[in-house]
Structure formats: C-alpha cells, structure tokens
Structure 1
Amino acid sequence: MQINGKVAIVTGAAGGIGAAIAQRLLEHGAQGVLLTDLDAGRLEATVKLLAGSHGERVGGVAGNAASTADLERIVDAAEKRFGPVDLYFANAGVGGGAGLDASEEEWSRSLDVNVMAHVRAAKLLVPRWVERGAGYFFSTASAAGLLTQIGSATYSVSKHGAVAFAEWLSVTYGDSGVRVSCLCPQGVETELLMSGTRSDDPVERAAARAVLDSGELLLPLDVADHVMEAVGDERFLVLPHPQVLDFYRHKGSDYDRWLRGMRRYQDAVK
C-alpha cells in the first residue's frame, strides 16, 4: 500500500517505535496521522514536536488501546479530522519479567494490551475495510512471538498470541483487500526494554540482558524504516534483525536442539 494520501492511527505513540512510525508516515506523505497513548503528557509533547514539521496532518488523542470504548473514540476522532482510516498500527504493548509467579492481574494485563487490544481494533476496522475493499492492519509483536523471551512467560505468551492473531487476520481477510503485517524486532532502544536493565527484579534484568546480548540494538527510527518498506511491499513478516529468521529456522528444523540451546543461553544471562 502506498502511504501517500492515506490516514493512519498509531497506538503507543508517545515515544519509542510508535512515535518513530508516526514520524515516518508523515514524511512519506500520509494525509493524516492520529497518535494515541495512555500517557497524555508525553503524547502531547510528541504531537507538538511532529506538528512543528507537519502541521495539521498530525493529531493526538489520549486513550487506552485495549479499551473498546476508547478505540471507538480514537477512530471517530481520526475520521472526523482526516477521513476514513486506511492503516492501523497496533503498537501499544507492555513488558515485564513475570514467570510462574505472575499474578492473575499480570497475566490479564499482558494479554489485554498485547493481544486483545489488536482483536478489539480489528473488530472495529476490518469490517469497514472489507466493505471498502482495502485496509491495512499492522501488528507490533516481537521476536519473542516467534522464539520466546527468557524470563518472561507473560510477555512470550502474549507476543505469540499477537503473531497468531495477525496470521489469522491475513489468512481470513487477505483476499478481501485487508493487508496485514507483523513486526518482530529484537533489541530496540525503547523505554520498554531499557527499563528492564534497571529493574530490581533479577528475572526482568535477565530478560533484558538476553535481548541486548543477542544482537544489534536498533534505534526506533531504524525500525520505522523497515516498517515503511514492509507496508510498501505489503509484506507480512517484518524482521529488522535478520538473525531472527535464522534463529526461527533453527527452531523449526530441530525443536529439541533449539530448546537445549535456549536453556544454555538462559544460564549464561542469569
């Protein structure tokens, strides 16, 4: 899909990958980009910064991307200001290093934000896109959704769910004009990752170290460049870190060997 002249919504857009995606969309000629995030203060600052270069083509609405009521309000605001939504970037996410000790609340939060937020957005937008014959759903998952995240069951399971839902969307609606992509990066210099290195929880620190030690640490704008290329190509799997594909192939070719290797790596980063 060509970005020029299109209308987009980006969640989790107050900083990190979301803000970078919004910037690149505007630079590629999007007609309008609505940013949304729970953090109203950071969101306002980011919108103001982008508006300095892109004027009225950028807007912001604070809200919870996992809330159906908030999503309805966000989509309505985008359409009133810019027109029908063409692209939706489900980028908001939560991390954490919880394992078997994770509470019910931690499990619910991870699944709600990392998976159900995508489901609820798709329920709103996909029927409209099928009727129009075109639309784009872009899911931010993680390399943890293809491999696994050492230390964090909640993150690994929820990101696997995000990948699976994106696959299902593509299979089910790909012939109806709905394009789907799924972003699965490793280390990106975001607060979500870097906060893990400062955590008092040894499991969270090990999870962050496992990511940082496994490959290059990319900047959010570098990742956003990969996102723009993927949208232009209408390519499903977006891997800013090419080694993730190698790891994924090794996993599929010999699962037991891969599991043994992951256990050794886990011991090394503890």
Structure 2
Amino acid sequence: MKYIYFITLLVLASATFGSAQFDNISDGCKNKLTALLGDQNINACFPFTAITPLVSNTGSMPSQDALKKAADAICGLPKCSDSLVSQTQTDVKSACQADITAKNPIATLVDVVLTLYSPTRDSICFKNSTGGYCFIESQAATQQVLQSAPKGQDPTLTFAGAPKEAVCTPCNKAIVNTYLNFQKTNPNAFSDIKEITPQDIDNAKSALTGKCGPNFIDGQVGDSTESLDKFQSQSANQKSDAMYLIANRMSFVALVGTILATI
C-alpha cells in the first residue's frame, strides 16, 4: 500500500488530473472535469499546466526539485476563494456522484483534493528557517526515519523512537495545527474519506502530544520559519511521553504535519 501526505496529494492529484485520460468514468463526470481544466477562474488561482509535468510513467514520488517547482507555481498565485472551491466541489459531486460512489480513482481524488484544498494549500506554502518549503523538509525527515527502521516494524513504534528534533519542528507544528483548526471549523471534512476515522484523528493528537508536549497542538500555527534550536529550547520543559505513541496504535500515523492518505 502506498501512502503519501495530503499536503503532497494536492500537487500529485492535480498533476494527475491535468494529464488524465479519464478512462472508465461516466460521460457527465468526464465533461465536468474536462471543463474544470479550462475554467479561467480556477486557473487564475491554481496552475494545472505548471504541475502536470510531475506525473511520471513509473508513478514514483517526484523529486524534491520537482516538488519545489510545483510549490513555487501554486504559491505564486492567489489562493482560490472558499466560495469558488465550494461551488466547484458541489458541481463535481453532482456530475460525478456515481463515479465517486463506485470509487473511481480520478473522481474520488478530485473530491478529496477539493475537500482539503484550503489547509493543504496553506501548508504547501509554509517556509522553514532556511527558506525551503516545510512539506518537503517534513517529507524528507519522515522518509529518513522510516528507512532507518527495522524492516516490517510497526510505524507507531518507529515514530515513538524517532528523534524529537525530526518530529517536533516549527514546520510540523504549523502544518498540524492548520489541518486540525480546519477540522474544528469543518467537522465533516473527513467524513467522505473512509480510510480515516475520528478515532484515527484522536489517536494522532494523543501521539503528537505525547511526543512533542501539549503545546504542540494548541491551535496556534506559530512561526514555521523559527529556527529549530530556538523552537526546541522553548519546548524543552514540556512533558513528552513517547509511550503515548505505543499505547495509541494508529492505522494512519499523522506525523510530520499531516495525516497520511492512501491512493
């Protein structure tokens, strides 16, 4: 099973969408999705053309350089308005409901991306203390943690033993709180994503609190550009109990700033 972050999902899904042939999809849904690609209002705030080259024949994760170029294009345009995203999702659901119910990959992916567009777009554009993109930093750190773990080890145990400086970072705090704040104001946001349950989210909160201290998910995005040393020194006195990570086994581990999604 292949996991990627929601934060990277927006980039990859949009690239896939921009180059898709729309096979095995109803005519009504195909027409609607094709129309979206040419919609001037959407293209004014989301660069389909600029990120389409991310799609590769191998389906492998794009390089950091490719992700940076995609993020530059996304963050270089104004954010799509809530009203535009909401109306677009309503139109997609109306035209593609049968395809979404049948779990057509393209239709489902577009629906999920529209649902989580706002916090994902915000998180893509967070920068770290060196001017790099937070989500690229977090992705690289997570891959390193996973690759250094014993083969077949439960991810929960892997992250329980991960260095605190790889998990409890200003970037991850900004991303985590952005998603959780969105969930608070949009409690049904994850209801259509069947792989993630409310219990998974609660477990993720407990895990991050145990690893990083109670102030890590306090609802404050904070300053993602703050240096790691300064951030760590400020949180040094917070209680950190890695056993939370073991006690709260998660089917989807929310580490490095977001909950994992499966496609």
Name the structure where strand makes up a greater proportion of residues: 1
TM-score by length of 2: 0.29
TM-score by length of 1: 0.28
